[in-house]
Amino acid sequence: MSDENSVEFSFSWLALRLLGRGLYSNPWSALSELVANGFDAGADTVYLYIDMKDKTKATVEVFDNGTGMDVDGLRLYATVGYDKRAAAQTSLDAQMKDDDGDVIEKPPATDYMGRKGIGKLAALYLSQEFFIRTKTNTSDTTWTLDAGAASNEPDGIPSLQRSEGLPPSPVLGRWEPFDTGTFVSLRNVDLRGYGEQGLKMLRARLANQFLLKARDKNESTREIKVRVDGNDDTKDSDFKRAQKRIAFGNLAYVEANFPNYADMPNQLTSEAAEVLLPAPGLLDKMYRHERSIHRFVASPDTASPEWKNIAERVDIEKSEFDGYKYELTGWLGVHASIEKDAARLNDPLFDKNRYYNPAQIRLYVRGKLASDRLLGQLGLTGTYTNYIEGEISFDFLDHDEFPDIATSNRQDYDETDGRVKLLRALLRPLVRGLVSKRQNLAKEIRKLESDRKQKAAAAGKEQFAKTLNSDLASMSELSEDTRNEIQFLAVNKIKGAVEAKTDYRIFISHSSADAAFTNFLYELLLSRGAQPNEIFYTSKPDEISQYSDPNALASVVRESIRSANTLLFYFVSHNFRASQYCMFEGGAGWVTRSVREFLMLSTTYSEIPNFLTQGESQMSLLDSTGGITLRPDLHNYIIECLLNPMISHLNRGREIEGTKEMNLFEKSEFPTQVILDRENKVKEDYFDPTIVEHWASHIGPKATEYIALRAKASRRAKAASDAE
């Protein structure tokens, strides 16, 4: 018998334990029930605290600022199967009747998430021992239940026993200032198997259990706040709001229906956003699509086999089932991509792991998650079905005038029920439509890729013809007729079947000690629009990739030298000759190229390895006095023999790609000395200003030091030679 110090449950110990263990499949579903109890008690904020420094004996505490319970309220709480929604409706009915017992007007529907009064058993799923402290405007009491202590009396009646107080808790001080509310403390909870990744997704999973929206315009939005104390990596300094991690920015198409506009997620009310889809065959490897959002009107799939079982019960025009109104609300979307890296380009929130799968339709009933397995129950197949995500509400599944059809674990509904069949019939056309749009988008991308490939092949063939013609023109030993015949046969033999090479690159071979000179050329190319990935260059400013994997670097060097689409440039100096790596690059270039097929700049002619010159003259960086200055002949050599050939080479790839080509530098035309004297000018006044600026930044301040180091190295080399 219950008294002021004891509140008996309406089930035996055995039934209570079996129910608690059988209702839930994971801790998060059980926790959501405890959170729902807080919201049903009128709380606008429910707090969840987890102390899992010892995962085998973790502490879980849930507290709220709801109405709390007095002793009579606790007796109702202990009544398993008590329908609080029906009781609340009965109370409202009584308030709305006149003296003769007639109903004045139909009372408003109640807004409780729970119905059967068994959500409290979630605590027993998590722990056999829990404490409850609850306070109302007139009472403040603490109670405890120890299911483990009753193992020898399974037929006994469990009861809440009044307690002196709660066990110590670091978060009790957060709850105590509330005027009313309930604090539930669960001890010795087994959370083994839930690591840092699971905890990272805890807030999102918990937030997904609810719609977390205002119940009417006068109430603030419901919130769940979470704090986890684990090891140093997972310890929270304070409670943090549980928020959904829906990657709205990755949705390509959205269908939505929100009769109350304020209920629509903010991310869907903003301007339509651009999303990127992977497209390896396009220029920048991405396809840009403008996201579209449409309002759906749910129309059932009457062609499905199961429709005939419910057709007579549905009035499509009135949206009624067995004479009662139904309404499908919420949103459905199809993702642009479900590959993590690609999806995160659109929205960093995108995640897909063992704890969170975005490919799901979450079904909410009365604001609480009823199922997240609905997508798989629609019987739809196809690649892009797995790209669907959505949150829909169908309160009709828990209509008070119909039987309760929730499954025994309270995490799904009886799939054979007519209302569930109706829901599936309403959803199938919406999902099919989204899948079809995503399929059409994929077809459009494939067409664009195919068109671009064909254009690139044609442009590649044309570029091949130009290059071949240029090579043949240099072969003076062949007659013109022979050259024309070779040109005709070679170009027509390929028939466009050879894949067009579009990856035109530049390889800069140099000693790191000469980086000032090569940086000068590299940044001049960037100033004209060259991209860093078009130039293989180990001294790129602020670049460290060349140090991260020496084996990969060597592989790239070999591939770059072998590729006919790579233009080689050598900066030759005493440092170059002293480097085995540089001499290897030079030798490899000599094997694969003729002298005319690579570019070169040297400090002096004598420092060029013989195999790279083959007797041809080359421009030297040092002037006749042994200094380094930007003189007129060097200025125009840099333009005509280095920069413009490099730009023209990269432009071949741009021509094939169909993209904007880079502008060449203009060679300076110097007036005669008489005109210069007449205008009081010097030849340097006619230099390209961009070249002058880059020279001043990279080479000017270092020229003197470079010459001094070169002279010192020369003296050391001579001394070593004399010693031999």
- Residue-wise pLDDT for 374-413, tens only, equals 999 999 988 899 999 999 999 999 888 888 777 655 566 7
Pairwise pLDDT comparison (428 vs 53), residue with the higher score: 428
Q: What is the pLDDT of residues 293-352, one digit of tens each?
A: 999 998 999 998 889 999 999 999 999 999 999 999 999 999 999 999 999 999 999 988
Burial 206-226 (b: 16+ CB within 10 A, else e): bbbbbbbeeeeeeeeebbbbb
3-class secondary structure, 577: helix
The residues that bridge with 505 in the sheet, in sequence order, are 566
Do the Cβ atoms of 159 and 8 come closer than 8 Å?
A: yes
Tell me the range of 104-113, 157-166, 318-327, 564-573 where mean pLDDT is highest: 318-327
3-class secondary structure, 634: helix
Find the range with the poorest average confidence among 193-207, 292-306, 486-500, 518-532. 486-500
Do the Cβ atoms of 627 and 645 come closer than 8 Å?
A: no
- Reported confidence tier of residue 92, pLDDT bands at 50, 70, 90: very low
Instruction: Using the predicted structure, report yes or no on whether residue 563 has a pLDDT greater than 70.
Output: no
CA–CA gap between residue 430 and residue 435 (Å, rounded): 9
CA–CA gap between residue 109 and residue 96 (Å, rounded): 13
Instruction: Using the predicted structure, report yes or no on whether residue 444 has a pLDDT greater than 90.
Output: yes
CA–CA gap between residue 573 and residue 557 (Å, rounded): 20
Instruction: Using the predicted structure, report yes or no on whether residue 582 has a pLDDT greater than 70.
Output: no
CA–CA gap between residue 442 and residue 287 (Å, rounded): 10
Do the Cβ atoms of 245 and 351 come closer than 8 Å?
A: yes
User: What is the per-residue pLDDT for 595?
Assistant: 47
3-class secondary structure, 319: coil
Pairwise pLDDT comparison (508 vs 564), residue with the higher score: 508
Query: Which structure tokens are listed for 25?
Result: 């499949």
If phi > 0 it is left, if psi is from -120 to 50 it is alpha, else beta; for residue 482 that is alpha
Mean pLDDT of 660-687: 91
Q: How big is the chain, counted in residues? A: 724
Residue type, 504: Y
User: What is the per-residue pLDDT for 534?
Assistant: 86
If phi > 0 it is left, if psi is from -120 to 50 it is alpha, else beta; for residue 674 that is alpha
Instruction: Using the predicted structure, report yes or no on whether residue 662 has a pLDDT greater than 70.
Output: yes
- Reported confidence tier of residue 526, pLDDT bands at 50, 70, 90: very high
Mean pLDDT of 459-468: 70
User: What is the per-residue pLDDT for 419?
Assistant: 93
Query: Which structure tokens are listed for 474?
Result: 């240099």
Domains of the chain: 6-82+117-241 (3.30.565.10), 248-443 (no CATH), 505-723 (no CATH)
Q: How many Cα neighbours within 13 Å face the side chain of 296?
A: 26
Mean pLDDT of 560-570: 72
Pairwise pLDDT comparison (433 vs 262), residue with the higher score: 433
CA–CA gap between residue 482 and residue 475 (Å, rounded): 11
Q: What is the pLDDT of residues 232-246, one digit of tens each?
A: 555 567 899 888 889
If phi > 0 it is left, if psi is from -120 to 50 it is alpha, else beta; for residue 723 that is alpha
Q: Which residues contact 104 (CB under 8 A, 6 or more apart)?
A: 96, 97, 98
CA–CA gap between residue 437 and residue 455 (Å, rounded): 27
- For the chain, the distance separating the N- and C-terminal CA atoms, rounded to the nearest angstrom, is 112
Find the range with the poorest average confidence among 246-260, 445-459, 544-558. 544-558
Mean pLDDT of 269-276: 75
User: What is the per-residue pLDDT for 90?
Assistant: 42
Map tokens 């991509």 to a residue.
Answer: 337
User: What is the per-residue pLDDT for 94?
Assistant: 40
Instruction: Using the predicted structure, report yes or no on whether residue 722 has a pLDDT greater than 60.
Output: yes
3-class secondary structure, 237: coil
User: What is the per-residue pLDDT for 520?
Assistant: 92
Residue type, 237: S
Q: What are phi and psi of 387, to 5 degrees?
A: -100, 0
User: What is the per-residue pLDDT for 107?
Assistant: 38
User: What is the per-residue pLDDT for 53?
Assistant: 87
Instruction: Using the predicted structure, report yes or no on whether residue 267 has a pLDDT greater than 90.
Output: no
User: What is the per-residue pLDDT for 706?
Assistant: 84
**E strand or H helix at 179:** none
Across the beta sheet with 320-321, what order do the strands follow?
314-315, 320-321, 324-325
**E strand or H helix at 330:** strand 329-335
Torsion sign across C-alpha atoms 670, 671, 672, 675: negative
User: What is the per-residue pLDDT for 262?
Assistant: 73
Q: What is the pLDDT of residues 218-227, one digit of tens each?
A: 445 788 999 9
Instruction: Using the predicted structure, report yes or no on whether residue 422 has a pLDDT greater than 80.
Output: yes
Q: Rounded to two decimals, what is the model's pTM? A: 0.65
Q: Which residues contact 595 (CB under 8 A, 6 or more apart)?
A: 612, 613, 614, 616
Mean pLDDT of 521-545: 82
CA distances from 575 to 403, 508, 518, 610 (A): 88, 15, 13, 16
Q: What is the pLDDT of residues 363-375, one digit of tens each?
A: 999 888 888 889 9
Do the strands 320-321 and 314-315 form a parallel or antiparallel pair, or are they unpaired?
Answer: antiparallel
